[in-house]
Amino acid sequence: MKTNFLKLLSGLFLAYGTSTRLSAQVQMIVTLNNNNTETFALSEIRSLKFGTQTLNLNKSNGSISTWNLSDIANYRFVGLTGLGELKNTTGKLEVFPNPAGNQTRISFSAAHNQQISIEILDLQGKKIRNIYAGNHDGEQSFFWQVDVPKGMYLCRVATENGILTKSLIIN
């Protein structure tokens, strides 16, 4: 899991680190269980490291932010909605719990009726599971009985207006 995540992060730096404009737009947002959030521009992140109980973020200026994994409600990259995609869409995607065990709830809400698809991808962008494809109106939740090995995955919702993606850790 750690290796795959670091490969993804390395890919982000390779793809976006050379362009100041793009790397400044891509951010990592860490949301804690107490609803506090911390935001980091991709250009200021030197590395991320998952320990058995912690997530360590090393910044370019030498400072380090550390969180207990049990305190993190969610972390995500914004401005980058998928591997190689820079689309934006209206709607809200939530994956809970995250990290997940044997089941997770995927909730998507949008203001208008539209066709959507919900998929689980590996970190190389390969589709692993189809969760839902069809008409969507308002807010819907889908429960996925996890049937993949432990590791890091992406949950992608494709709509008529664009694509939303959230990272998902399976423990």
pTM over 0.85: no
In the DSSP assignment, the letter for residue 44 is G
Please state, in angstroms and rounded to a whole number, the distance separating the CA atoms of residues 121 and 109. 20
The structure tokens 């891509």 sit at: 26
Is there a domain that residue 84 lies in?
A: no
Q: Indicate if 12 and 63 belong to the same structural domain.
A: yes
- Which distant-in-sequence residues (6+ apart) come within 8 Å of 19 by Cβ? none
Helix (H), strand (E), coil (C) string for 45-107: EEEEEECCCEEEEEECCCCEEEEEHHHEEEEEEECCCECCECCCCCCEEEEECCCECCEEEEE
Question: pLDDT: is 50 or 87 the higher one?
Answer: 50
Q: Give the residue-averaged pLDDT of 9-28.
A: 46
**Residue 91: pLDDT above 80?**
no
Q: Mean per-residue pLDDT for 105-117?
A: 86
pLDDT on residue 48: 79
Q: What is the CATH number of the domain that holds 35?
A: 2.30.30.100
Q: Which amino acid is at 80?
A: L
Number of domains forming the structure of the chain: 2
CA-CA distances (angstroms) from residue 6 to 66, 71, 126, 129, 157? Answer: 17, 21, 17, 23, 23
pLDDT tens digits for range 59-89: 888 899 898 888 888 777 776 544 444 344 5
Give the residue numbers spanning the domain of 100: 92-170
Does 18 fall in a domain? yes
Task: Report yes or no on 86 lying in a domain.
Answer: no
Percent of the chain with pLDDT over 70: 78
- pLDDT band for position 132 (cuts 50, 70, 90): very high
Find the mean pLDDT for residues 38-54. Answer: 80
| Residue 92 neighbours by CB under 8 Å, 6+ apart | 107, 108, 109, 110
Q: What local confidence, expressed as pLDDT, does residue 90 receive?
A: 59
C-alpha atoms less than 13 angstroms from C-alpha of 115 in its C-beta half-sphere: 3
In a domain, 156, yes or no: yes
58 vs 19, higher pLDDT? 58
Query: Could you tell me if 108 and 156 lie in one domain?
Result: yes
